[in-house]
Structure formats: C-alpha cells, structure tokens
Amino acid sequence: MSVTERAFVPLGIAVLTVSDTRTATDDRSGDTLVARLTEAGHHLAARAIVPDDRDAIRDTVLGWSRDATVDVVITTGGTGFTGRDVTPDALEPIFDKRMDGFSAVFHRVSFETIGVSTIQSRATGGVVNATFVFVLPGSPGACRDAWDHILKAQLDYRHKPCNFVEIMPRLDEHLRRKGGSAA
C-alpha cells in the first residue's frame, strides 16, 4: 500500500426506525439502511423501532451515543410536519453540534428525486456525545438517497478530500479540554 492509499475503516452504525405502525417484518426503510451499510463493509451495531415519542427517540439515541461500539446513528421516520412527526424535535436539543450542511445537501439530492416535495422533510444531522447522528425521512427512497449520495462517501475513510471518519477521534476534544467525558 502506498502512502497515499488508505484502508477502509468499518464503523459501528445503529439504525433507529421511528414509527407507530412499522414492525420488524415491514420496516423497509430500516432494511434499506441495513443492507446499504453492511454492503459498504460497516457493522450493524444496533437496530430498533420506537414509536413517535420524543422521550423514546431521545433515550434510544442517547443510549447508543454512550455505547463505544456505536460510531454513527441513523434514524428514519418522523421528519415531516404532522403532529406525530417529532424526531428532529427530540434530537436537535441534544446535539452538541448541529450539521447544517447535511440538511442542505440532503435537500439538494432529494430535489433531484422528488422535486419541491423535499421541503416537506426536516432531515437534519448533528453530533451527540462524539457520535454522528443523521435524521432521515421514513421512506426507503429518502434512505437510499441519503446513503448513496452523502453517507456512503462521508463514512468511508478513503473518501477525499475529507470525510467524517478522519475527524472522529477529535469529536469530543471540547469535553476532554474541560475535564468532562463524552459518556
């Protein structure tokens, strides 16, 4: 291997489906994400389905963010505008850092697929306890778009000019400087 080549670094990725109606047998969006992340060489660190409930969503993501085997959490569902769509509302308050660029790029990619209907999504991303968290709509198409056009490259250490994997060791440096802990 030359100095300029990089080896793939598999990540532990947790998938959370937020839905009052989905079960393990019909969770097509969760299945889409699991298939893509494992096909890319990553490990499924955890998977769950929780109802559209702020506490259940937040508690699951917080728990995973404290688990050393989970590097990334991807949620699917609950990003719309109806009364039960509360995933961004549950998670944005716990973001240590918000990732505005993820939302912007997701909407750009989504526009190519569904046009102006992309404005009906509140997809977002951020960092919680040094863990990347991506909040996706509940459709398999949105999950495919986000993975294929954004996450696959950014979660691959070989992607240049930069990627999320290379900055992961420094995500909690603000906590370490203050004598705190990301756990």
71-109, pLDDT tens digit by residue? 999 999 999 999 999 999 999 999 999 999 999 999 999
| CA 20/CA 22 separation, integer angstroms | 6
Answer whether residue 182 is part of any domain. no
The predicted structure's pLDDT at residue 5: 83
Q: Are 167 and 159 in contact (CB under 8 A)?
A: no
Please state the rounded mean pLDDT for residues 122-134: 97
Please state the rounded mean pLDDT for residues 135-163: 97
CATH value at residue 84: 3.40.980.10
The pTM score is 0.93
In one-letter notation, the amino acid at residue 38 is T
Q: Are 85 and 114 in contact (CB under 8 A)?
A: no
Task: Please provide the average confidence, as pLDDT, over all residues in the chain.
Answer: 93
pLDDT in tens, 5-36: 889 999 999 999 999 999 999 999 999 999 99
Q: Of 87, 161, 164, 90, whose CA–CA distance to 130 is shortest?
A: 164
List the domain range (segments joined by +) for residue 133: 12-172
| CA 173/CA 41 separation, integer angstroms | 28
Q: How confident is residue 1, by pLDDT bands cut at 50, 70 and 90? A: very low
> At which residue do the structure tokens 């046009």 appear?
115
Percent of the chain whose predicted confidence (pLDDT) is above 90: 89
The predicted structure's pLDDT at residue 176: 60
**Pairwise pLDDT comparison (180 vs 52), residue with the higher score:** 52
Answer whether residue 2 is part of any domain. no
How many domains does one find in the chain? 1
Answer whether residue 45 is part of any domain. yes
| CA 149/CA 122 separation, integer angstroms | 18
| CA 148/CA 118 separation, integer angstroms | 17
Answer whether residue 41 is part of any domain. yes
The predicted structure's pLDDT at residue 3: 44
Going through the chain in order, the beta strands assigned E by DSSP cover 12-18, 43-50, 72-76, 97-98, 124-128, 131-136
Q: Are 20 and 53 in contact (CB under 8 A)?
A: no
Answer whether residue 178 is part of any domain. no
| CA 14/CA 43 separation, integer angstroms | 9
**Pairwise pLDDT comparison (125 vs 183), residue with the higher score:** 125
